[in-house]
């Protein structure tokens, strides 16, 4: 399954896939000066719906503001509509949606004000972000030798393209070592997040997740927080140390692309009984029903493409 689609939304127009190109001298390409989102649409009983579209679009605009953009040609509402149009134009049900606002033209002295923002939105059919067997078996991870961003070096709340070089370094290293994901520690040495997911720890029936200061404020993380509380679990934000992962009953990661995936092993230490744990599976099941519009309580999180 590739990343092809019929159409990509480009600055207000729906253009054929092949025409969604940028010039070599696009500043975003040289400096990583772009912001993006990872969003998913799912087939639901009432037709395709985009999960938490408003929250993703608001975070996209927040990221752009953090990067320094001050004026946009589009509003949040227009961008939300553009996501729906892209899914519809391609005839997709289950798909991944990737909007990107990038610095286009004229910013050659490292000042955002000298360029202008441009936006494109693509969609493609992308399943199994962490591999075919991840759901049932869980995945093996290690603690990366690369440290996650310091909040005053790279802005951790923003999905800035350039920030992801840190993720690429870590993920490449982990996969070359034979793992499927990298867990990254923050500059103080506490557990931060993975290269493209937030992380939760379960011990004695209680759930803990690192606080948001050094990490991306994941929308899946926030959804899981609500779901787990509604299921009756105590969920706390607290610092998590590396050895608290080793001694956890369950560890799971979550993100729009990955959804909810258990960790079976960390640094060659088996977590729990070495597969997705009981609470992980319970949350995973509710999450899967939620994103497909099958949980009445959370149906307002599904934005129908119409
Ligand atoms: N942390 C990071 C660093 C991150 O990139 C993501 C999303 C999350 C946490 C979870 O955030 P949320 O999707 O709002 O729950 N990662 C996106 C990009 C993955 C990629 O390979 O590119 C995603 O899941 O779409």
Return d(Cα 155, Cα 281) in angstroms, integer: 33
Q: What confidence tier does 221 reach under pLDDT thresholds 50, 70, 90?
A: very high
Q: What is the DSSP code string of 112-174?
A: GGGSEEEEEEEEE----TT-TTHHHH-EEEEE-SSPPPPTTTS-TTS-BGGGHHHHHHHHHHH
Return d(Cα 108, Cα 29) in angstroms, integer: 12
Beta bridge partners of 49: 42, 304
Return d(Cα 31, Cα 226) in angstroms, integer: 37
What is the overall mean pLDDT for the chain? Answer: 96
Q: What confidence tier does 34 reach under pLDDT thresholds 50, 70, 90?
A: very high
Domain spans of the chain, in order of start: 7-125, 133-291
Which of ligand 1's atoms lies nearest the C-alpha of 56?
Answer: 14
Tokens of 279: 């609470």
Q: Is the CB of 198 under 6 A from ligand 1?
A: yes
The pLDDT value recorded for residue 109 is: 85
Ligand 1 pocket mutation pick from 99, 255, 259, 283 by most atoms within 8 angstroms of CB: 255
Q: What confidence tier does 130 reach under pLDDT thresholds 50, 70, 90?
A: confident
Assign a CATH topology to domain 133-291: D-amino Acid Aminotransferase; Chain A, domain 2 (3.20.10)
Q: Quick check: is 171 catalytic?
A: no
Distance 204 CA to ligand 1 centre (A): 28
Average pLDDT over residues 263-284: 97
Cβ-in-10-Å burial (0-12, 13-18, 19+) of 21 comes to exposed
> CA nearest 251: which of 127, 170, 140, 128?
140
Assign a CATH topology to domain 7-125: D-amino Acid Aminotransferase; Chain A, domain 1 (3.30.470)
Ligand 1 pocket mutation pick from 60, 191, 216, 253 by most atoms within 8 angstroms of CB: 216
Residues 251/245, Cβ–Cβ less than 8 Å: yes
The pLDDT value recorded for residue 136 is: 83
Residues 263/141, Cβ–Cβ less than 8 Å: yes
* Protein residue whose Cα sits closest to atom 21 of ligand 1: 196
Tokens of 26: 């696009």
Chain centroid offset of residue 98 CA = 10
Average pLDDT over residues 195-205: 98
Residue 190 confidence (pLDDT) above 90:
yes
Distance 149 CA to ligand 1 centre (A): 15
The pLDDT value recorded for residue 75 is: 97
């Amino acid at each position: 399954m590739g990343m092809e689609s019929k159409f990509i939304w480009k600055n207000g127009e729906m253009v054929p896939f092949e025409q969604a190109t940028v010039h070599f001298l696009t500043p975003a390409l040289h400096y990583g000066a772009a912001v993006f989102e990872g969003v998913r649409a799912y087939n639901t009983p009432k037709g395709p719906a985009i999960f938490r579209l408003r929250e993703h679009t608001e975070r996209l605009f927040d990221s752009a503001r953090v990067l320094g953009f001050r004026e946009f040609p589009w509003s949040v509402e227009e961008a939300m509509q553009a996501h729906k149009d892209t899914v519809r134009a391609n005839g997709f049900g289950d798909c991944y949606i990737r909007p990107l606002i990038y610095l286009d033209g004229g910013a050659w002295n490292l000042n955002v004000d000298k360029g202008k923002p441009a936006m494109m939105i693509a969609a493609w059919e992308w399943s199994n972000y962490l591999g075919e067997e991840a759901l049932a078996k869980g995945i093996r991870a290690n603690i990366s030798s690369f440290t996650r961003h310091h909040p005053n070096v790279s802005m951790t709340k923003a999905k800035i393209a350039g920030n992801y070089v840190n993720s690429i370094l870590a993920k490449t290293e982990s996969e070359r070592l034979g793992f499927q994901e990298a867990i990254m520690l923050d500059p103080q040495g506490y557990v931060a997040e993975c290269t493209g997911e937030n992380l939760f720890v379960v011990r004695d029936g209680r759930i803990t997740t690192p606080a948001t200061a050094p990490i991306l404020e994941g929308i899946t993380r926030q959804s899981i927080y609500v779901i787990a509380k509604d299921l009756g679990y105590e969920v706390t934000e607290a610092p998590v140390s590396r050895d608290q992962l080793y001694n956890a009953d369950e560890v799971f990661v979550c993100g729009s692309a990955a959804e909810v995936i258990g960790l079976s092993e960390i640094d060659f230490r088996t977590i729990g009984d070495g597969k997705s744990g009981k609470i992980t599976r319970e949350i995973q099941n509710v999450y899967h029903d939620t994103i497909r519009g099958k949980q009445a309580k959370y149906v307002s999180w599904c934005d129908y493409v119409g």
